[in-house]
Amino acid sequence: MANLLVLLWSLALGCLFSLTDAVLVNEIGKNDFALQLVGRVQQMHIDHSTTSVYVLSDRHFLASLGLENGEIKWRQLVSPETSVFVNEGANLLMTLERDSLIASLWNSKTGSLLLQKQVDCGTNVVPTSTGFACINQDMHSVAVFSKQNSTFSVKNIDTPTEIIGVGVDGDDIWTVSLEEDDVHALPLGQSAVHSKSLLANVPASKHEKGSDLKIHLLWQGLVIWSKENTVYAQQPIIESEPVKLFDGAWKSLRLCVHDNVRASVDVYLSDENDSAVFLSVSVDEQGRPIVINTSVLPVGKLTSYTFTENGRYSVHVLEDGTLEAFAGDKQLWNREESMAYVADSFMVGLPERDELSKLVQQEESHSFPFFSRLMRHLKALPQLSLTKIMEPKGQSDAFDSILIIASTTGNLFALDTRQNQKSYISWKKVLAPYPSNVRSWLLNPATRDYDVAVVAFVAEYPNETIYFELNAFTGDILFQERLPYTPEDYFVIENTNNDTRSVTVAAVNNAAIVITNKGLEANRSLSDTVFTRTRDHIVSGLVLQPDLTFIEKWRFPFTEDEQVLKVVKRNPKEMIPSVARVLHNRNVIYKYLDPNMITVFTKRSNTLHIYVLNAVSGALLYSTKHTNLPESINLQAVMSENWLLYSFWSDVPNLSTKVVSAEFFESDKPNEKLPLDNYVSGDVNAYVPYVVTQSYIMPKDIISMGLTNTAQGITSRDVLLGLSTQQLAMLAQPYFNPRRPLLPPKAKNKDSTLIPYEPVLPMEDQTVLSYNLRVYNLTQISSHPSVYESTTLVFACGHDIFYTKVAPSLPFDMLSTAFDKRQLLLTTFAIFLGVIFTRPMVRLKLLKQKWY
Amino acid sequence: MSINDEKYWIKNFAKASGAATVTSKKTKVLTTDACGPAGYDTAFNMQMSKKKQISENNAIKEAQQVLIMKKAWELATSPLKQVPMNAIMAYMSGNSLQIFSITMTVMLVWNPLKAITRTRKSFQPFINATYQKLMQPMVAYVLCQCVLMLIAFFKLNWMGLLPTTTSDWIAWEKPREFTEHVVHSIH
């Protein structure tokens, strides 16, 4: 019997430890990832020598992508209006900023900047073997820039005639001029007698000088011209026959040129029926024009296209920014660059994890939670395998999530953090092309009774709106509605029963239209619901009548020249762990916890106004203002519990980022609360806060702000900051506490719970969550509770995407990385075996002792 | 032969008096061979002697009772002697939650409790005394142990482990409920 008990105990212990997999591993790539993007590519060039694709995007990224896998080798941010030129053999990239005429030379392998210099450069820039050449402003000379050691040398060469283009053939530079409906090519620096006529090699039957010959393009020596309905491509520098591109009826011709790509031109022809024909023209090894087979290309959606000279590889850009690479007809890779254009983003909890957290919560409510947990573990025992027991660190789905990104290009992406790093995208939906505005939100999280998380997606067009409801886990469209109008506002009315979805209500001319196909019957009583609406100069509260019309209940009187910049409110899902804040002497000050509190930021001339309102009655609870601000103030704000935090640029005393923290309490005296009933109506005017504020200086620019969020709210709510230094940082909440005492030097701090006040917030290296990565333009930060109270899942996006987990108050409910489960299990097993084997020996010894 | 030899001393005494012999150490037989002096009433004298012995016995008993009570009171007030030492130790061990201070505080609470439950056993040697008389030192003993325990409670209070402030009961305080609900427009 005793042996049986020992055996059972060992099994139970092993079972418990095998399921104890909550080990926080703070390593790069462990439950976190970063997706680096470049944006919609505008110029690109394939470099065969380094198997790279050099791209320049509309987000001003100059990047090198691997030709075989599409991964970013390096990327650099360049100025707007930049063109890039490639010197393939010399491993050099040149960029020219067209507005400031600054030429930069880059190492194409490493992306390092070798040289930067202001040049006096004109139009029609082409790369040469030693630098680049361009036509000067007078159109009668060519400037040839050559790299010499650490600088550029410039050589101006005059031409006998007015030139319209420059071309390069090997080491030779050619100028091209237009004379009497013919094009002449002339080697640079030679007399006019060496010029060649474009039409010299064209059979006489195909053209007649002075007829309807049209020169459509002249670029780097390649000429696209048409006569009547026939379109030709010709390289006049070498003596070649023109190549017929198209022969038939066409109405319009559109050409797309890649600045960097030598002799690569996309030709779009549309006929009478507006059906488009796409052609891409390049030159072969002898310099003759060739037409690339474009059968694999989706005609009509393509914006840019390039290929290797032998035609083996091709890379093209779709209109939504997707970058695709082909080897022949086989797709090598694609990059979803439209994720860089984020309209809305949020996280959705995994159904299994939510299920587990609900199970744990139910167990806690039992009379004997320990036995409930034990029973659950014993039930899981049959599925237990030896490999699972010996697995040292299996974190299951504790730190995983579904990330939803709605792009301004009309796409909806779901990223599953459980997947491997190469294919995080769980599903992608191209829902509405070219919308004027996109909005998306989580309509319904997954619940026990309704195990589908529902995402709402709205694409607005000038005269219509398309509304979608999708399953967040599969991407299936659950509901779709085409509205012949553009709603002014959308409201989500949450369900009260677990088996029904929340409902989206659109407001159109003060009329409420229930978009979702389910009615409002199953939902919350609307008689005590106030809807808030924000306009440029107005913030108002509405009530919904039984006939589904909105009536204005209150309106806050802003002046005409006062513009509403931002409205922030509390997260309605956040847990309040305590109704009061405990002081060092164990007294308390009661928090002002009005869930209907909103903060409105307005700007009038150079003054920022802050109004804290009760959204039920529109009553002003608190207001303040900051004066002498610059024109752009870069306002960021968050609100949680009884706490408001906002940052802005200030000119006083000098230009810096200021952070203001305001905490709302019921009274300034300890242990005292407002003498009101526990049931508070928004119309009670006596419920007003006592506000404590403090301001700080942030040494870095803030571009976005968020707060960590945990299941029970016990863990510290630290502040997540997207920085202009392309980093994501987290700063502890105590630094923003407005009650930090202002002490003279060397004075003793009486309240050890508060850090003494210092005007500059400490931004140390440990505060950066994105380690050594540059994650660009993180304008949206969202957080989601994990299964463990200590840990928050953080998702930041804007251009790049970064996902990680943080433990603001350290991982207090998890085992440390030093915990070795394998060693513990082996030790327990060894002790068990020791007990089994030594037991008869001990019995024998005791028996012998009785005899002697 | 030593003067301390009991047998020798009794023998000599018997010889000197000529009236008494001692047969053994434990049993004493008094024999009277000679007549008393004139006017000496032997019977009366023996009666008086008995009375005197009784009164002496009573006095001894009373003295013993007093002594017992004195000892009982000494035992009852003995915990007070530990007060200064315990107070100093409680102060020196600090108010932070460490193994030493926690052990110290547990001992300060546990030892008086243990002593109070063993009060009757502690006063067992004095149980011959009247129970009513012994009640007072026993009560005093319990009170003194309570004084010792008081130090422990002060210590617990210093450590912040006694729920004496509002913050200790804040978890049970119900948050305010708000009758209205606000729905904000998307963006």
Q: What is the ipTM of this complex?
A: 0.76
More confident residue, B161 or A307: B161
Q: Which residues contact A18 (CB under 8 A, 6 or more apart)?
A: A384, A388, A389, A821, A825
Question: Residue A100: its pLDDT value, please?
Answer: 77
**pLDDT attached to residue A601:** 96
Q: Is the pLDDT of residue B27 over 50?
A: no
Name the minimum distance, in Å, from the CA of B100 to any CA of chain A: 23
Backbone angles phi, psi at A68, to 5 degrees: -85, -30
Which residues on A lie below 8 Å from B176 (Cβ)? 579, 593, 676, 678-680
Name the closest residue on chain A to residue B182, using Cα atoms: A530
End-to-end CA distance of chain A: 30
Q: Which residues of chain A make contact with B182, given a CB cutoff of 8 A? A: 529-532, 541, 569, 595-596, 598, 615-616
How far is the alpha carbon of B158 from chain A, nearest alpha carbon, in Å?
11
Which chain B residue lies closest to A565 (C-alpha atoms)? B187
pLDDT at residue B70 is higher than 50: yes
What backbone torsions phi and psi does residue A558 show, to the nearest 5 degrees?
-80, 150
Tell me, what amino acid is at B17? S
Residue in this structure with the two tokens 């001393």, named with its chain if needed: B9
Give the separation between CA B105 and CA B154, rounded to whole angstroms.
10
For A2-25, give the secondary structure using H, E and C: HHHHHHHHHHHHHHHHHHCCCECC
Positions of chain A with pLDDT lower than 50, given as ranges: 203-211, 258-263, 295-300, 390-395, 522
Among candidate residues A701, A847, A728, the one with its CA nearest the CA of residue A782: A728
Contact yes or no for A682 and B186 at CB 8 A: no
Structure tokens at A359: 């199970």
Contact (CB<8Å) A596/B178: yes
- Parallel, antiparallel, or unpaired: how do β-strands A265-270 and A252-257 relate? antiparallel
How many contacts, defined by CB atoms under 8 Å, are there between A and B?
Answer: 101
pLDDT tens digits, A384-409: 665 555 444 444 567 888 999 999 99
Peptide bond connecting A653 to the previous residue in cis, omega within 30 degrees of 0: yes
More confident residue, A746 or B26: A746
Is the model's pLDDT at B73 over the cut of 70? yes
User: Rounded to an integer, what distance in angstroms lies between the CA atom of residue A284 and that of residue A404?
Assistant: 45
C-beta of residue A812 within 8 angstroms of C-beta of residue A790? yes
List the structure tokens of B107.
């001992």
Residue B91's closest CA among B104, B110, B106, B107?
B104
- At B85, which helix (H) or strand (E)? helix B42-92
Hey, are the CB atoms on A578 and B170 less than 8 Å from each other? Answer: yes
The predicted structure's pLDDT at residue A300: 44
Token output for A251: 């109405």
Spell A465-497 as b/e; 16+ CB within 10 A means b: bbbbbbbbbeeeebbebebeebbebbbbbebee
Taking CB atoms and an 8 Å cutoff, what residues of chain B touch A612?
none
What the block records as the tokens of B43 is: 């019977």
Q: Is the model more confident about B111 or about A748?
A: B111
Spatial contact of A436 and A460, defined as CB atoms under 8 Å apart: yes
Res A804: pLDDT: 92
Contacts of B165 in chain A (CB under 8 A): 586-588
Report the pLDDT value the prediction gives residue A24, as an integer from 0 to 100. 58
**Which residues from chain B sit within 8 angstroms of residue A441, using beta carbons?**
186
Q: How far is A442 from chain B (nearest CA, A)?
A: 11
Inspect the interface and report whether the beta carbons of A531 and B183 lie closer than 8 Å. Answer: yes
Distance to chain B for A597, nearest Cα, Å: 9
Burial of A331 (0-12, 13-18, 19+ CB in 10 A): exposed
Residue A677 has a CB neighbour count (10 Å cut-off) of 9
- Tell me what pLDDT residue B29 has: 47
Q: Nearest CA of chain A to the CA of B171: how many Å?
A: 6
User: What is the token pair recorded at A753?
Assistant: 């719970």
Distance (Å) from the C-alpha of residue B159 to the closest C-alpha of chain A? 12
The residues, ordered by sequence, that sit 6+ positions from A231 with a Cβ below 8 Å of its Cβ are A216, A224, A225, A244, A245, A246, A247, A250, A253, A267, A269
From A524, which residue of chain B is nearest by alpha-carbon distance?
B181
Cβ–Cβ contact B172 with A under 8 A = no
A680/B184 touch (CB, cutoff 8 Å), yes or no: no
Mutate to test the interface with B, among A576, A579, A642 (most CBs of B within 10 A): A579
Query: Which residues in chain A touch residue B186, judged by CB atoms under 8 angstroms apart?
Result: 439, 441, 489-492
- Whether B183 has its CB under 8 Å from any CB of chain A: the answer is yes
